[in-house]
């Protein structure tokens, strides 16, 4: 059955919105909702997103908006534009607006800690989504297993390369949990194949333009690269453009996130694969969980979102 670029069907989303978050369980969560006062109406949720320049997080926000509308909740979204200081300031604004729950997609997992602690001090429960916070009290974390995604990418490349070749790793924003975990999973798994060498490893900050520039520079000093693993699709698409411009045919490129642009390139046979995280589902689950917390219900400390490796064969 042919897959479309939207990895979550309308039917699945509708079912989730009607049934609520099926991954929650009574008695398994926290007590913050009791501190702020359980509510049944007029629920106000803050969503602090790392950036809206990345299609992945645009889709995550759209999922959150859909769930908020279905749950009759008000959603206030703030965009950090990948600036940790700006994100901290915007979260302080959400606290001043007395939101009932704050959902945070951290720009930097370490830098976000004081903001999480400020929310804790104000008695506002915090949910992290996609990326973790290195400290403070977080009610629940909603994400795919980034490390497992890195392992999926490594296994795919090892198989495609026949166990030998030089590989480039384009890293995400230093300090972000996603970059650390995806890199850890990839490197631990790829190390099991002795014939594969990481020839170059450099941050491109989850950015397409930086991915292009970094890959251009790497190609100048490495003429025998066989594959690229990028910590997200934006960097992978930038790397792909650099490879095409250099006329370096035959280099495999694997991304992470399964954004629409990336999936189109996979099905066109240009991008080798991408690890699907389903950001719309993350947004939906985050808001559904926030509504439960605001109502005084308890939730799981960790809510997973399924991963999937998308290759050209997925279109068949």
Q: Could you report the per-residue pLDDT of 106-161, keeping only the tens digit for each? A: 999 999 999 999 999 999 999 999 999 999 999 999 999 999 999 999 999 999 99
- What pLDDT score does 314 carry? 80
At residue 186's C-alpha, the angle toward residues 255 and 260, to 5°, is 15
**pLDDT attached to residue 22:** 34
Q: How confident is the model at residue 277 (pLDDT cuts 50, 70, 90)?
A: confident
Average pLDDT over residues 46-70: 96
Strand partners, 273: 254, 311
Using one digit for the tens of pLDDT, what is the confidence trace for 199-239?
999 999 999 999 999 999 999 988 899 999 999 999 999 99
Percent of the chain residues past pLDDT 90, beyond the cut:
83
Sheet arrangement for strand 165-171: 196-203, 165-171, 225-230, 252-257, 273-276, 308-311
- Between CA 272 and CA 180 the distance in angstroms is 23
Give the model's confidence band at 291: pLDDT under 50 very low, under 70 low, under 90 confident, else very high: very high
pLDDT of residue 35: 45
Q: How far is CA 88 from the centre of its chain?
A: 19
For residue 11, what pLDDT is reported?
Answer: 42
CB-CB contact of 50 with 295 (8 Å): no
Among residues 108, 106, 104, 88, the alpha carbon closest in space to that of 175 is found at: 108
* DSSP notation for 76-132: EEEE-TT-HHHHHHHHHHHHHTT-SEEEE--SSTTTTHHHHHHHHHTT--EEEESS-
Residue 95's contacts (CB-CB under 8 Å, 6 or more residues apart) are 102, 118, 119, 122, 124
For residue 202, CA distances in Å to 62, 168, 199, 241 come to 31, 8, 10, 17
What pLDDT, on the 0 to 100 scale, is given for residue 24?
33
> Which tops the pLDDT comparison, 242 or 7?
242
User: Is the backbone of residue 177 left (phi > 0), alpha (psi -120 to 50) or beta?
Assistant: alpha
Residue 38: predicted pLDDT: 74
Return the SS3 of 20: coil
pLDDT of 20 strictly over 50:
no
* CB-CB contact of 238 with 204 (8 Å): yes
Helix axes 55-70, 233-246, angle to 10 degrees: 150
Per-residue b or e along 217-236, where b marks 16 or more CB atoms closer than 10 Å to that residue's CB: ebbeeeeebbbbbbbbbbbb
Say what angle helices 177-190 and 146-160 make with each other, to 10 degrees.
40
Lowest mean pLDDT among 38-52, 178-192, 261-275: 38-52
- Cβ 72 vs Cβ 41: under 8 Å: yes
Long-range contacts of 37-40 (CB under 8 A, 24+ apart): 38/294, 38/295, 38/296, 39/100, 39/294, 39/295, 39/296, 40/295
The C-alpha atoms of residue 45 and residue 62 are separated, in whole angstroms, by 14
């Amino acid at each position: 059955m042919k897959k479309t670029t939207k990895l979550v069907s309308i039917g699945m989303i509708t079912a989730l919105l009607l049934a609520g978050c099926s991954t929650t369980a009574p008695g398994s969560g926290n007590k913050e909702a009791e501190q702020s006062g359980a509510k049944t109406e007029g629920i106000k949720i803050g969503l602090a997103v790392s950036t809206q320049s990345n299609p992945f997080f645009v889709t995550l926000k759209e999922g959150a908006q859909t769930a908020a509308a279905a749950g009759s909740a008000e959603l206030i979204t703030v965009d950090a534009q990948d600036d940790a200081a700006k994100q901290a300031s915007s979260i302080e604004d959400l606290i001043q607006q007395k939101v009932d729950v704050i959902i945070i997609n951290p720009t930097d997992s370490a830098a976000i800690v004081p903001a999480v602690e400020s929310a804790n001090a104000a008695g506002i429960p915090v949910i992290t989504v996609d990326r973790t916070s290195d400290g403070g009290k977080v009610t629940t974390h909603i994400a795919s297993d980034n490390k497992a995604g890195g392992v999926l990418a490594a296994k795919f490349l090892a198989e495609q390369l026949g166990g030998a070749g030089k590989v480039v790793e384009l890293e995400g924003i230093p300090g972000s949990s996603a970059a650390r975990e995806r890199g850890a999973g990839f490197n631990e798994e790829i190390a099991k194949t002795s014939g594969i060498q990481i020839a170059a490893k450099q941050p491109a900050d989850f950015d397409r333009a930086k991915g292009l520039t970094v890959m251009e520079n790497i190609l100048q000093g490495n003429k025998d690269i066989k594959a690229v693993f990028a910590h997200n699709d934006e960097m992978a698409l930038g790397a792909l453009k650099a490879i095409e411009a250099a006329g370096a045919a035959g280099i495999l490129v694997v991304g992470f996130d399964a954004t629409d642009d990336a999936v189109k390139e996979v099905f066109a046979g240009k991008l080798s694969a991408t690890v699907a995280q389903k950001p719309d589902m993350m947004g939906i689950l985050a808001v559904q969980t926030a509504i439960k917390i605001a109502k005084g219900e308890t939730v799981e400390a960790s809510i997973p979102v399924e991963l999937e490796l998308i290759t050209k064969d997925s279109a068949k």
